[in-house]
Amino acid sequence: MTPSGHHRVFVGAIDADGNPMTLATRDGRFTYVGAPASYTPDADAQIVDLQGKLVLPGFVDGHIHLDKSFVGDRWRAHRPAATLRERLAAEKQEIAAAAPMARRADALMRQTASFGTVAMRCHVDVDASTGLTHLNEVMAMREKWREWLDIELVAFPQAGVMSCPGTAEVLEEAVRAGVHGVGGIDPTTLDGDPHGQLNVIFGIAERYGTKLDIHLHEPGDIGLAQLHRIASRTQAAGLQGYVCVSHAYGLGDIGPADLDTIARALADADIAIMTNAPGDRAFPPILRLREAGVRVFTGNDNIQDSWWPYGNGDMLQRAMLIGYRSGFYTDADLRVALEMATTAAASVIGKTDYGLHAGNEASFVILDAPNAAAAVATAPAARAVIRHGRYWGGPAQLTLDPALREDTAGSTPT
């Protein structure tokens, strides 16, 4: 990372609780974060007055697909599909006809950064027919954006492992190419061989020391059985803390007794759960899992692609949707949604040097809100992003014909 070369002191800020806060930075790192009364700026400091604005740590997107999105391309109307295999075939057709992947990934990365995302875990499709094509494109964009976005890559076997011969070998190629983790997907309902798929992906993780992040959309008892298999394999392989399950829809389908049992198994194996609070089905009960000691984090998942038309890459909006779908009304619960999009996701992807603490990377987001809970509940669009102690930017504002603005005086009530 390029240091800022400046000593700046940000005064007039408020913290997550709404209390006054001062932040001092030098060469792109925090030298002080805390109460204003406990800090005296050095003579060479540049003073920046935030005028009562809220400061939050940069956002972390724990689950995104940079290779799939049509951001940066034209709008594409959603095409319904009757089956998962039909959806996969339609996706390949649409991606083949879309703008170059580098352009689309670049546009989405710029958009997420403008909202304040500083790190992400990106799942990239690999299979026997695709090979490492998607991965190479995303890795090139990761290099371009490395100063502004820390990106952990997962090789994702979207088409299956056992049901798509040759994919197991491509997953190993992806690990040798430098991905941080290996994925899986619906071992029973898509692949038809739960033991075989888990044997392959856990075998790779054990041989290479990689992480695992398994897409699991399987419902009810099928999903529950799968989670127990994954927990058992994690314990047997000694991979506690290295395994995540994304979506885990089945956790939203089962009764309290089954949920308590599987939550204990997940906590004992230190398996993290990612949920993006999807709009069309049940999803994991966040608070109950956390009470059992399970790490729960969030990400945007698909953004304007073949799977659904929604999303803009804003993790604060995602936190709001987490809270909205979960019935989070208290300030404490709203703060949980924010934690899932910041510290919890950062912990899962292994982003160190993170957060509003002296010694860490001086990256944060400035918003106009009275506290963190209010920021989650309202997801204000206006914000400014500071990266490594420097002003990076923020969401783009509309540029309008000046003639239109000339007649705005007196147009609002006084």
Residue 381 and residue 304 in one domain: no
User: Which burial class, exposed, middle or buried, applies to 43 when counting CB atoms under 10 A from its CB (0-12, 13-18, 19+)?
Assistant: exposed
> How many domains does the chain contain in total?
2
pLDDT, residue 378, reads 97
Q: How far apart are CA 342 and CA 316, in angstroms?
A: 9
pLDDT, residue 1, reads 42
Domain that holds residue 339: 59-349
Structure tokens at 231: 């927990």
Residue 207 and residue 224 in one domain: yes
Q: 124 — phi, psi (to 5°)? A: -120, 130
- The answer as to whether 1 is a domain residue is no
Residue 395 and residue 269 in one domain: no
The C-alpha angle with vertex 168 and arms to 163 and 172, in degrees rounded to 5, equals: 160
DSSP-derived letter for residue 100 is -
- The answer as to whether 410 is a domain residue is no
- The answer as to whether 203 is a domain residue is yes
pLDDT, residue 406, reads 66
Q: Burial letters for 197-229: b for 16+ Cβ neighbours within 10 Å, e otherwise?
A: bbbbbbebbeeeebbbbbbbbbbeebbbebbeb
Residue 270 and residue 229 in one domain: yes
Q: Mean pLDDT in each 10-residue stretch from start to end of the chain (414 residues)? A: 68 98 97 95 92 98 97 94 89 92 96 97 95 96 96 97 96 97 97 97 97 98 98 98 98 98 98 95 97 98 95 97 98 98 98 96 98 98 95 85 63 54
Residue 207 and residue 325 in one domain: yes
pLDDT, residue 411, reads 52
**CATH code, domain with 69:** 3.20.20.140
Residue 15 and residue 158 in one domain: no
User: Which burial class, exposed, middle or buried, applies to 87 when counting CB atoms under 10 A from its CB (0-12, 13-18, 19+)?
Assistant: middle
**In sequence order, what are the residues at sequence separation of 6 or more whose Cβ sits closer than 8 angstroms to the Cβ of residue 66?**
105, 108, 109, 122, 124, 138, 141
Tell me the residue length of the chain.
414
Residue 37 and residue 118 in one domain: no
Residue 66 and residue 132 in one domain: yes
**CATH code, domain with 387:** 2.30.40.10
pLDDT, residue 314, reads 98
- The answer as to whether 414 is a domain residue is no
pLDDT, residue 64, reads 98
Residue 392 and residue 256 in one domain: no
The helix (run of H) or strand (run of E) holding residue 234 is: helix 220-237
Place of tokens 């898509």: 190
The pTM for the full model equals: 0.95
- The answer as to whether 411 is a domain residue is no
How far from 73 is each of 95, 106, 250, 307, CA to CA, in Å? 11, 11, 34, 16
The helix (run of H) or strand (run of E) holding residue 60 is: strand 59-64
Q: 192 — phi, psi (to 5°)? A: 70, 15
How far from 144 is each of 108, 110, 389, CA to CA, in Å? 13, 11, 20
Tell me the Ramachandran region of residue 74: left when phi exceeds 0, alpha when psi lies from -120 to 50, beta otherwise.
beta
